[in-house]
Every structure is written in C-alpha cells, then in structure tokens.
A = this chain, B = another copy of it.
C-alpha cells in the first residue's frame, strides 16, 4: 500500500488538490451565470489542438482520415454510407458551432456538448438523437477517478462523437470497422452508436477492478493492523466510489429510456443489443453498490477493532496498576520513620511482610484470572 497509495493522503492534505476534488463534487455543468442559453462558452482546453477524425464505411469498403478538416467531414453527410466523425477537444467553439449548423443541431445540444460534467442523458430531437455519456478512467498517478464527457449524435447516416481528450476506449471499435465482414460494417449507424456506448460501459469494469483492488488492500490492512492513515484512506476511497456512483446511476435510467425508445433511428435489431448494454450497466451499478457496502463494513470493522484494542490496553494497565499499587503502599508503610513502630523490630517482620505481599499479589492475579482478563 505504501507504494501504491502515498498520494491518497498527501493529496487529501493538499489544499490545492482538495479544491480540485471538491470541484468534482459540485460540478458546474452550466454556462457562465447570466449568459443566454445556447451561448457557447469554450470550456478550459484539455488538449492542445482540436482534432477531427472520420470513418466512412459500407459493407464492402471503408475509408479513414485521422486529421480531417471540417469541410472534408461535411461532404460525408450527403453520402449514403455510414460516417463516424469524432472530435477530440471542445474548446474550439467556432468549429463546433459550424458543425452544429451544418448538421442542424439544436443550440442546447451544442451548449451541452461544450459544457463537460453533465449527467448521462438521452434526448430525441426530430432528425437525430443526442446522448451524453460520462467516460471514467483511473488516474493511476494521482489515484483518483477522472471523468470525461462523451457526446454522441446519431443521425440517419452518421454518428458524431465529441470528447474532451485524445485517448479513448474505441480502439476495438475502430479495428472492427477496418475488418471486412464484421457485423459492424454490415449494419447502420445505430449499430455503431451501440458499439461505442458498449465500449464505454465496458470500460467501467477496468475502473471498478482498480477500485476493487484498492479496497481489497485496505481490507487486509484493517484486518491486520489498522493505523490512523488506514481510516483516512478508507475515507478517500469512499469518496472516489461516490464519484463513480454519481456518474453511473443516471446511466441506468438513461439506457432504460434508450431501450424503450421507439424512435425509427434505432432499428429493432439494434435494440436487442442495447438491452445488453443496459444489462451491463445494471451489473456495474451492482458492483459499485457492493464496493460501497464493503467499504462501509470496513469502517465498522476499523472502529470496532480500535475499540477492542483500547479495551485490551486498558486491561494491561489495570492489571499492572492494581497489583503493584497496593504492594507499593505496603512497602511505603514500613519505610516510615516513626520512632515507635513495633513491627520493625520483629525478627521475622521483613519476611512476614514479603509473604503478605506475595499473598496480596497472587490474590489480585487470581481475581483477574476469574474475571477472564488474564
């Protein structure tokens, strides 16, 4: 643990970091106060350069461009093939506004895209569907959960995705697009949307496994040797789980809505798969709840272990003090300097007293043994 979690405590004590953690609790997923709705305000940039990337495919053919321009993307809208346009980085609001205008997106959708930190949601607009999905990752260096917002727009022949950073969890999906004969290539954009959402939900397991491992290591420490830091780390871990939980709960409702949706953009064939994503999300929630339960059980265990040990410490003290304090008193008596103390002159006085002390001491020992303290 000492190798793995030193950050937990240091960061928790670091006001600066604390502020950032708190910033996570009260997520300000709204435009700057007083601004008109639909006003696009650039969020703080998390990547240097906004990057466009598209895939365009049909059953027998696929095309890929990692550094596309907006204009190259616009062409795709009028092709009958399935197109997936991905934007990494949200701070270039001009670009996003341009795309919004071209694809006919509602101002509120554009605002949602550029304000990260929102709850998962699914909204049906006339000719397209809009999905917000939080992506979670475990920042191994700082030992915190990091959230990123994925916005997904599903139209009749395209899927747009917007992410805050470069790296993502879609490598597998891209590979399947490039693979001839894969199911993904044979189906429409709704199946692509499904595949992307599935990849995101699937990645939650990685995060939970990491949290689960940390929980396990803490459990071991609470059982073996609870220290003051152990409780602090339990607290920190509890908070990380809370962050995960807050992201994941809305997912259930959202995916339930997706599944019940009768929008024609979602074919029945794909809806069967959507049910699967829903099931996975529910299972992730189960796991989060289990972790929460285990951690709050650990808090109980910690408290009761400490209580029990205090009790043990007290017993040792009480036994030592109760045996020797009376004996010391007896010795004190005969250390007095009174001129007339008959016992002092007795020949057997000293050994008699030693005997009496032994009897008193053994009496105490027996008393404590009967009480079960020894």
Contacts and interface: CB of A to CB of B under 8 A. Distances in A.
A294 B350 contact: no
Contacts of A173: 34
Interface of A: 9, 12-13, 15, 18-19, 21-23, 25-31, 33-38, 106, 108, 118-119, 121, 123, 169, 171-173, 175-176, 182-184, 195, 198-199, 202-203, 205-206, 208-209, 211-213, 215-216, 219-220, 223-226, 228, 231-232, 235, 238-239, 242, 246, 272-273, 275-276, 279-280, 282-283, 286-287, 289-291, 293-294, 297-311, 313-318, 320-322, 324-329, 331-341, 343-347, 349-350, 353-354, 372-373
Contacts of A289: 246
Report the copy number of this chain in the oligomer.
Answer: 5
A320 B246 CA distance: 49
B301 A235 contact: yes
A347 B341 CA distance: 9
A297 B215 contact: no
Contact of A26 (B19, B212, B345): B212
Interface SS of A by simple majority: helix
B19 A290 contact: no
B349 A283 contact: no
22 contacts: A12-B220, A13-B220, A15-B220, A22-B215, A26-B211, A28-B205, A29-B280, A33-B206, A36-B183, A228-B308, A231-B301, A231-B304, A231-B308, A242-B290, A242-B294, A313-B315, A316-B318, A317-B317, A325-B325, A333-B354, A339-B345, A340-B347
Contacts of A211: 26
Contacts of A328: 324-325, 328-329, 332
Contact of A299 (B238, B304, B338, B349): B304
Nearest to A123: B275
Contacts of A199: 33-34
Contacts of A242: 290, 293-294
A246 B175 CA distance: 35
